[in-house]
Amino acid sequence: MRDESQPALEAVSQNGSSAVATARPLPTNLAVKCPNCRELLVAKDLEKNVKVCQRCGHHFKLSAWERIQLLTDPDTFKEFAEELRSADPLSFVDRTTSYARSVADKRAKTGLEDAAVVGRARVDGLPVVLAVFDFNFIGGSMGSVVGEKLTRAIEMGERERTPVIIVSASGGARMQEGMYSLMQMAKTSAALGRLAEAGVPYISVLTDPTTGGVSASFAFLGDVILAEPGALIGFAGPRVIEQAIHQRLPADANTSEFVLAHGMIDAVVHRRDLRAELARLLRLYRAAETVAH
């Protein structure tokens, strides 16, 4: 898990003072500095452009609910497993705070119960089971709640023969739940194994960032794997690798484009096309399903 203190959005108010923003809608009077091209963008325009920098195409992080809104038909998303809560199984006490307090903080700040939201929905009329990460919640890290939610989503897809889409944005496993977190990698992968045996499609969408235990489990197990442009994708982050091998990495290392070039994913898809591309895939799978059954 890389719980980067770097905020999802670096917001600068028009009078020049800096403020950390969550990924929720910004006050319209703000300007936002693009972390890639340094352009000052009007927040309202940025929102309209699905949070993609109009100048350089940088994809800002989306919250789980923004992502759901982007991808699903209006009013079709029906959340489930929303009652699950972290239980602090190790009674984990940090050097400065406790896991319980961190979770409470993040809940208050994000309005989420944990780092993933799962539900049924429709995309261009076609039914899907959708799971979406939110990086704002402890770096999108996967503990027991996230693992359980994803597993229930995958099992629902299997049971109802409905395609599963998981949109990842995560630094990896959640340290504060120790081995329970690591084992969620096995748990979700096992569920995907049964989904594959049942011949139900699973589309994995990688967004910035997808690393660690999340990338090394369900995220890289998609029948089709898509990624948003410029996302950090890899087992380790570039800084970790640089420390390990004592070398500077090329600038494009561990980006979406890098993993595409190395044969690890199927396509890099611009955010504005993502919904249409998913719909196209879903229609093709549905055509295959119709013939087969």
Partner 1 sequence: MPYDLDFERPVAELERRIQTLQRRGERMRPDDRAQVATLEREVQRQTRELYRSLSPWQRVQVARHRHRPQTSDYIRLMCDDFFELHGDRRFGDDRSIMGGIASLDGRAIMLIGHQKGHDIKERQECNFGMPHPEGYRKALRLMTHAERFHMPVVTFIDTQGAFLGLEDEQRGQSQAIAENLLVMARLRTPIVATVIGEGGSGGALAIGVADSLLMLENTFYSVAAPEAAATILWRDASFAPDAAAAMKIGAPDLRDMGLCDALVPEPVGGAHRDHEMAAAHLKAALNEHLDELTRVPTAILLDRRYAKFRNIGVYARPVPATVD
Binding residues for Zn ion, rule: CB under 5 A, are 34, 36-37, 39, 53, 55-56, 58
- Footprint of partner 1 on 160-189 (CB under 8 A): 173, 175-187, 189
Exposed/middle/buried for residue 264 (C-beta within 10 Å: 0-12, 13-18, 19+):
middle
Which of Zn ion, partner 1, none has residue 55 at its interface (CB below 5 to 8 Å by kind)? Zn ion
**Least distance between partner 1 and beta carbon 55 (Å):** 28
- Footprint of partner 1 on 27-66 (CB under 8 A): none
| Cis ω before 209 (30° cut-off from 0) | yes
Residue closest to 53 by CA, chosen among 252, 233, 165, 208: 208
- Footprint of partner 1 on 190-219 (CB under 8 A): 190-194, 196-197, 199, 201, 212-213, 215-219
Sheet with 18-21: strands ordered across: 18-21, 9-13, 30-33, 40-42
Applying CB under 8 A, does 1 fall inside the site for partner 1? yes
Which of Zn ion, partner 1, none has residue 180 at its interface (CB below 5 to 8 Å by kind)? partner 1
DSSP-assigned letters across all residues of 173-197 = B-GGGHHHHHHHHHHHHHHHHHHHH
Please give the DSSP secondary-structure letter assigned to residue 162. Answer: -
Which of partner 1, Zn ion, none has residue 42 at its interface (CB below 5 to 8 Å by kind)? none
Contact residue for partner 1 among 56, 249, 270, 276 (CB under 8 A): 249
**Residue 225's CB: how many other CB atoms inside 10 A?**
20
Which of partner 1, Zn ion, none has residue 240 at its interface (CB below 5 to 8 Å by kind)? partner 1
